[in-house]
Structure 1
Amino acid sequence: MENNNDAEVLGKGKRHWYAIHTYSGYENKVSANLERKVHSLGMEDKVFHIMIPMENEEIVDDDGKKRIVARKVFPGYVLVEMIVDDRTWYVVRNTPGVTGFVGPDNKNPVPLADEEVDRILSEANRVAEAGGEEEAAAEEAARPVKIHIDLSLQQTVRLKSGPFAGFTGVVSAIDDEHGTVKVLVDMFGRETPVDISYTQVEEID
């Protein structure tokens, strides 16, 4: 396998979490393909964890009933805990469905900040522990509701819960039917779209 001498990166040689950008809808395929490559190449000592962050979110079905679903926190991204060197950079970057590392020029991956990682892992653990309990409770209490989201496009809002709690962003889409909004949040050095329940955001005065 050829080395990529241009892959001089921040944190190179150390164990960090990185964000990998993928084609839309390819997150699961990228995760599975990368896991297979890591195993077949014996790189478990360099690539430690591959994760698609999820969160539990309350939505409203077409029939007006509330339920809890697991939703990707960062559509179009996969997080990888790894030691970046020429070989691991090449393997990850050339996994089908990957468009590149998040960083200033793709060849210079920037590790996620510890605060970001702690927030993401904490939410992932909460989702895993809650599991079907939240969904069962939501189904039991399900009842028809009519949603009107009193927000407007391009409005700046603050996220109240989930891994982005405390972050601010701009509303880019509103789904009254399902009670969700899409908010553009500054994450990974770029605007990242986050689909979230309208109950998890608040207006900024």
Structure 2
Amino acid sequence: MTDRKQKMRRIARRRREALAHDRPSAALTGAIRRRRRRQRPPRIVVAPDRVWLVVRTRPRWSARVARELEEAGLATFEAREEVERVEENGRRRLVREPLLRRLVFVGLRDDGELRKAEAHPGVDRVLFRDHRAVVIPASVLQVFADALTGHGTEGEGEAVSAVLFALGDAVRVTQGPLVQAAGIVEAVDPARRRYRVAVEMFGRATPVDLGEEQIEADPEPSPKKNI
């Protein structure tokens, strides 16, 4: 018997043994994994009849806040994206991680629901700009949700980022050697999710290129004349 025939018989035997133990073969397992990765998450429908505000949560509370406010009757949306993680044993798995650091979108009907959201123990504050709450149009938020779940056009998800951190906004650095430094957004690159921020260093404004995850809205902005 040739070596090739012996090899084919060993492969056939292993496949039979795998089927006998209700285990798919390695080739079949790979095909199943690829099919699973191609499946899109279900579409998230943003309620168009609500006013959507942005709340900042305590560290590592975003998922809990979204869940508990939803259970209390408020509409919520926590932006998450699927990323592939490689474990120590080499196994790869898909996980859904928060996309906007400590931010949750909350859909409200009236002032009563606003007070309920503000009073939640995991909520730090509602985001304001120019003394007014930051309101995200439901249509913009729907485009963002569709982009995250694969139901929209690639790149449309940058719409909300442009709303949250617009030109002239006061921000504070949260990561890196400039942590806690305050600055003003001078330029936005939505495609790369990068921001040029004028940070006060050595008594003058110095432009610094920062990622979306490295900045947050500054609750106590310095006067712009000092930046």
Q: TM-score, normalised by structure 1?
A: 0.47
Over alpha carbons, which structure has the higher Rg?
2
In proportion to residue count, which structure has more helix? Answer: 2
Structure with more relative contact order (C-alpha pairs < 8 Å, separation 6 or more):
1
